Amino acid sequence: MGNALILVDAQRDMLEGETAVEQAETFRAALFELLERARAAGVPIVHVQNDGAVGEPDQPWTPGWELSFRALPGEPVVRKAVSNTFEANPALADVLRAMGVDAVVVAGLQSELCIQATSRGALAHGFDVTVPSDGHTTYDDGEPAAAIAERVTRELEADGVRILDLEHVVFAR
């Protein structure tokens, strides 16, 4: 068995333009590097696209809703309107297992919402989960984004998620 990359909500509204997270260009480059390493290893890649409400920057079929990284043939794009990708896509766990996946790397946005919920969803489905400590981020919300991301990292580690620096994430089939 091997691992897969679940790239969560790497959408234009959060990585480009006025609604982007702080230091979006650097974070986007880090996600792109992770994506390219997964592609080079030939592991399954799932792109997750959030469907925001009407008027939100990620409202479906608006420029902000578009993925920042084009999915290549064979890389499924799944949509969601809730934080947990597995809840929004009940067949996802079975699809991943059919692809020979028993472990997932979860990266993207936002730390305290979709990264945390999707990681916990993967754990609930029996996957080993790795989250790069520098592979997720969010917005300031009552505390600095970095503090939120750090707290989420600690909480996920307590839940049983493996936490690694992005440079130490290895993809294997």
Torsion of CA 37, 40, 41, 42, to 10 degrees: 120
User: Which helix (H) or strand (E) covers residue 129, if one does?
Assistant: strand 128-132
Q: Give the β-pairing of 101-109 and 77-80.
A: unpaired
Q: For the chain, how are helix, strand and coil distributed in percent, rounded to 5?
A: 40, 20, 40
Q: Which of 68, 92, 69 is nearest to 79 (CA)?
A: 92
Q: Could you give the CA distance from residue 173 to residue 163 in angstroms, rounded to a whole number?
A: 20
Indicate if 114 belongs to the active site.
yes
Q: Which of 99, 123, 125 is nearest to 1 (CA)?
A: 99
Task: Give CA angle at 67 (63, 71), nearest 5°.
Answer: 140
Identify the active-site residue in 10, 48, 114, 149. Answer: 114
What is the three-class DSSP state of 101? Answer: strand
Q: Which residues are catalytic?
A: 114
